[in-house]
Structure 1
Amino acid sequence: MGLFGPSKNDVWKQFADEIGGEFLEGSIFKPSMVQVAFRGWNITLDTYTVSHGKSSTTYTRIRAPFVSTQGFHFKIYKKGLFSDLGKMLGMQDIITGNEDFDENYIIKGNNEELVKGLFSSVEIRTLIEEQPKMTLEIKDSEGFFKKTPEGVDLLHFQEVGVIKDIERLKRLFMMFSIVISELVDIGAATYEDPKVDYLS
């Protein structure tokens, strides 16, 4: 244990043990990570750092590649100071029909029916509302150097900082497993192995 409590690696090792996942020790060039198998999907927890010249920002992220059936994409994040400005600049804000949820979150997507189907789940909405600040989305790649194969998309969560609260991590992984199941139920994904191994 360091001056500021348990290290990330210590916490993540314990987390992996408690949920039946695998902790993978990092190196100079690759951060430590936790991987958990769920119905053919591989859910990966790790961190990454973005440099801003003399400073940098570290993010916690959770990712799961999957076989997409409809090319469904969405992005959800909590409303903030500039949310209304974003709408004025053309951002699409899909209304789920749940007044309290719609009041607090911005949801963008390319299929309004699937967005409403996904966020009709009380469990998903509750798990999202538990998080102080986060972005959850489906994207088709992580940039030019990390393209996913044709027909494979990525369920992706990120938050500024390093999450070392085991109970929060458990709830986030629960959110991922429920979102995965719901994506299959609404016909947007399958449990087929996407055969993507670049996360390991």
Structure 2
Amino acid sequence: MGLFGPSKEEVWQQLCQEIGAEFVEGGFWKGNKVELDVGEMTITLDVYSVHANNATHYYTRMRAPYINRDGFRFKVYRNNGFAFMRRLFGVPDIELGFVEFDEKYVIQGTDTGKLTALFASATLREQLTADPSVWLEIKDDEGWFATKFPEGVDELYFSVGGIVKDIERLKGFFSVFTETLQQLQKIGSLEKGDPGVVLQ
């Protein structure tokens, strides 16, 4: 127990005990992480930092590589009230027919039918709206200086500012990811199998 409450490591180790995940020590060069196996896929929770303007900013993130059967991708994030600016620059929002969800979130994707089927899960919509900071996207890979994915492998991804040590909030993150992966499989966009990716 530190001066300002339990450390990230203590909270994350307790989280692992409660959800059946594994706490992986990163050693000197790499940070610690939490890994939860969902079938042949792994959801990874960790922290990364960005150095800007003589300061270090920390972010908590979750990632889950998977085999993308049809190339379906999307991005869903909280509406900040500037939808008109996105439309001005040619980035249309998609309305799915779930009124409260459509009002609260900006929804973009490659297939409106797939998006509607994905978020037809009331459980997923409720889990997302429970924490306004949570947004989701499917990424191709992690850029020039990070993990490269094999052909046909994409990643469910999100990050949030700060180091999250609220165990119930962390459980919520895992619930969102688990439900999303299950729904992606249900709509035919996720193929069962090992994506063959080891996240750094």
- TM > 0.5 between the two? yes
User: Is the Cα–Cα contact under 8 Å of residues 114 and 186 in structure 1 kept in the other structure?
Assistant: yes
User: Is the Cα–Cα contact under 8 Å of residues 76 and 105 in structure 2 kept in the other structure?
Assistant: yes
Deviation at 1:9, TM superposition (A): 0.6
Q: Residue 173 of structure 1 corresponds to which residue in structure 2?
A: 174
Moved over 4 A (4+): none
The 1:31–1:82 alpha-carbon spacing in structure 2 relative to 1, beyond 3 Å, is farther
Tell me the number of residue pairs that the alignment of Structure 1 and Structure 2 aligns. Answer: 199
Q: Aligned Cα RMSD in Å?
A: 1.2
Q: Residue 164 of structure 2 corresponds to which residue in structure 1?
A: 163
The 1:83–1:28 alpha-carbon spacing in structure 2 relative to 1, beyond 3 Å, is farther
Deviation at 1:81, TM superposition (A): 4.3
If the length of structure 1 is used for normalisation, what is the TM-score?
0.95
Runs (5+) with no aligned partner, structure 1: none
Distance 2:87 2:143 in 1: 25
Q: Residue 151 of structure 2 corresponds to which residue in structure 1?
A: 150
Q: Residue 199 of structure 2 corresponds to which residue in structure 1?
A: 198
1:24-58 Cα offsets, whole Å, 9 max, x none, are: 12334211100011111111000111111311221
Deviation at 1:147, TM superposition (A): 1.9
Farther off after superposition, 63-72 or 134-143: 134-143
Distance 1:129 1:181 in 2: 18
Farther off after superposition, 168-177 or 115-124: 168-177
Q: How does 1:84-123 map to 2 (within 5 A)?
A: 84-123=84-123
Q: Which amino acid aligns with 1:185?
A: K
Distance 1:92 1:69 in 2: 25
1:34-89 Cα offsets, whole Å, 9 max, x none, are: 00111111110001111113112211111110001001110111011434312221
Among all aligned residue pairs of Structure 1 and Structure 2, give the percentage whose two residues are the same amino acid: 43
Runs (5+) with no aligned partner, structure 2: none
User: Is the Cα–Cα contact under 8 Å of residues 92 and 109 in structure 1 kept in the other structure?
Assistant: no
